[in-house]
Amino acid sequence: MKLLLTSSGLSNQTLRQALLDLLGRPFAQANIVYIPTAAVAEPGDHSYLVQGLTQLHALGWREFDVLELNGLPRHMVLDRLRHADVLYVEGGSHYHLARSITNNDLAKDILELLEDRVYVGVSAGSMIFSRHLNEHSADILGDTADLHTLGATTLQPPFGLFDWYLKPHLDSPNFPDRDDTWADHIAAQADFPIYFIDDDTALRINGDTLDVISEGRWRFHP
């Protein structure tokens, strides 16, 4: 399994090179599928979505697909995921994304696909692998209102691969409250490990090996 879990996409050359290393071939020889599902649940300005998609497309892929996980027949979604070498899952509402994967019965198939494909997560797309993605963590992280806004009171983690939780956008100008005081407050309450990463950082998982690659700053609270 090869995962590149970012806060804000391929925001610097270190992260782009990390993806190339995981992929093992030039971008021009690979197909990518861009999944905006998490973003469609968020109201307001989606300029970040357009900007991120444009920058990603500019890397020069052989084929660039855009796929919404909801609404299409399941077999069509899976066929298009299978056609890709890279699954790039955009940010937005991690709760909507998790429920979309679970409700459409895609989790097992996605995990099987990731045996020989690369997954790139952006923010919400990076947060959905923790087994602690549930109403308890929502309460600790101050996200309960976001969960309830989607009409849910409970949440099933779609994958549950890791004991740790990833929280993105440390020090981000787009999230001015996410500073060290914010991280300290969450870490003091959490009963599970947390990685806090900024927008120039990613967790890279290659098989059983996890490392942090960064041109910025990150924190880990065991």
| DSSP state string for 140-178 | HHT-HHHHHHTT-S----SS--BSSEEEEEET-TTSTT-
User: What are the phi and psi torsion angles at 66 (to 5°)?
Assistant: -120, 125
Q: What is the pLDDT of residue 55?
A: 95
The range of the structural domain enclosing residue 127 comes to 2-221
Q: How many domains does the chain have?
A: 1
Q: How many CB atoms lie within 10 A of CB 48?
A: 18
Q: What is the pLDDT of residue 41?
A: 87
Summary mean pLDDT of the chain: 94
Q: What is the pLDDT of residue 147?
A: 73
pLDDT digits (tens, 9 = 90+) for 18-66: 999 999 999 999 999 999 999 998 889 999 899 999 999 999 999 999 9
Is the per-residue pLDDT at 149 higher than 90? no
Is the per-residue pLDDT at 212 higher than 70? yes
| CA dihedral of residues 181, 183, 53, 31 (deg, nearest 10) | 160
Q: The domain that contains 74 carries what CATH number?
A: 3.40.50.880
Q: What is the pLDDT of residue 38?
A: 95
Q: What is the pLDDT of residue 152?
A: 63
pLDDT digits (tens, 9 = 90+) for 174-196: 999 999 999 999 999 999 999 99
Which two structure tokens, joined as six digits, stand for 222?
A: 């065991």
DSSP labels, 46-83: -HHHHHHHHHHHTTT-SEEEE--SSSS-HHHHHHHHHT
Measured CA to CA, the distance from residue 184 to residue 215 in angstroms comes to 22
